[in-house]
């Protein structure tokens, strides 16, 4: 007589309680890409999230959440897109979610939008490798649709832990959706760009998403104004340490 589903579930829970997450099934056809964007082997079934809140570094956090299965996006992703950059960055840039190219490469803001973002950073005196770049969602929504509230609810705590570990001086929110999601508002991008904001006690500035600038080159001038103000605020925060 075959065991019932409930009996199997009970057995698996007991095995997990005894042995933790070490005994997990290999998931075929999916490659693991670390948050530096390099392939490091196969992914495994299981959530990989045991005590992720206690992770003491970004690498450790990544290892504990990279197989997250808390929402249906895990079924359609190619790669879990954690983030990239300096673990001690004074500046964190946050977008809404990975796109198609990001999903393929396992790194946020690549392709044409990423190249433009690199130029924007360079224009205000930052290199990509000295800031930290990530998204609210770590998996790509199908067809690049907007993140669902249920997806944000599951994934945003990971962002919180990233920020707790990095402890940046300031945040740059890239695009309307990212800004509205972080600030829990429906205000327009025009209103948000003009305001003074804070996220988890960290000063936050809002500007256009690089992909939007590729579609609408006329928005490059106001973006330049935004990032100049962002740089000025960052310099002011850093200057306060020497007073």
User: Measuring CA to CA, how many Å separate 108 from each of 5, 6, 8?
Assistant: 39, 40, 39
At 38 the pLDDT is 40
Please write the tens of the pLDDT for every residue from 134-189. 999 999 999 999 999 999 999 999 999 999 999 999 999 999 999 999 999 999 99
Residue corresponding to tokens 């690199």: 118
The length of the chain in residues reads 243
The DSSP bridge partners found for residue 132 are 85, 92
Percent of the chain's residues with pLDDT above 70: 78
Please write the tens of the pLDDT for every residue from 41-53. 433 333 444 589 8
**Mean pLDDT confidence for 110-137:** 96
**Mean pLDDT confidence for 58-65:** 96
Q: Rounded to a whole number, what is the distance in angstroms from the first to the last CA of the chain?
A: 76
- Asked whether the predicted pLDDT for residue 10 surpasses 80, the reply is no
Of residues 158, 167, 161, 163, the one with CA closest to residue 90: 167
CA separation for the pair 213, 211 (Å, rounded): 5
Alpha helices for the chain (secondary structure H) = 5-19, 58-65, 100-105, 111-123, 149-166, 176-183, 189-194, 210-215, 220-239
CA separation for the pair 227, 124 (Å, rounded): 7
Region for residue 3 given its phi and psi (left: phi exceeds 0; alpha: psi -120 to 50; beta: otherwise): beta
pLDDT greater at residue 242 or residue 119? 119
At 42 the pLDDT is 39
CATH 3.40.470.10 fits 5-242, yes or no: yes
SS3 at position 185:
coil
Instruction: Check if the beta carbon of residue 207 is closer than 8 Å to that of residue 223.
Output: yes
Q: What is the pTM of this model?
A: 0.80
Structural domain boundaries in the chain? 5-242
**Mean pLDDT confidence for 98-118:** 95
Strand bridging mode 202-207 / 197-199: antiparallel
């Amino acid at each position: 007589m075959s065991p019932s589903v409930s009996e199997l579930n009970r057995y698996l829970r007991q095995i997990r309680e005894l042995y933790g997450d070490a005994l997990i099934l290999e998931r075929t056809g999916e490659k693991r890409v670390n948050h530096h964007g390099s392939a490091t082997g196969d992914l495994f079934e299981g959530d990989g999230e045991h005590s992720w809140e206690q992770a003491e570094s970004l690498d450790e956090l990544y290892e504990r959440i990279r197989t997250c299965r808390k929402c249906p996006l895990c079924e359609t992703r190619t790669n879990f897109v954690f983030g990239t950059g300096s673990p001690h960055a004074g500046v964190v840039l946050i977008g809404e979610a990975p796109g198609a190219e990001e999903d393929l490469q396992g790194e946020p803001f690549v392709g044409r939008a990423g190249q433009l973002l690199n130029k924007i950073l360079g224009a205000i005196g930052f290199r990509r490798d000295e800031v930290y770049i990530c998204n609210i969602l770590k998996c790509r929504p199908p067809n690049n649709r907007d993140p669902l509230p249920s997806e944000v609810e599951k994934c945003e705590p990971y962002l919180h832990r990233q920020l707790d570990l990095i402890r940046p001086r300031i945040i740059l929110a890239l695009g309307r959706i990212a800004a509205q999601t972080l600030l829990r508002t429906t205000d327009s991008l025009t209103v948000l760009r003009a305001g003074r904001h804070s996220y988890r006690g960290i000063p936050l500035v809002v500007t256009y998403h690089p992909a939007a600038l590729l579609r609408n080159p006329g928005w490059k001038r106001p973006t330049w104004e935004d990032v100049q103000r962002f740089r000025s605020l960052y310099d002011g925060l850093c200057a306060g340490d020497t007073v």
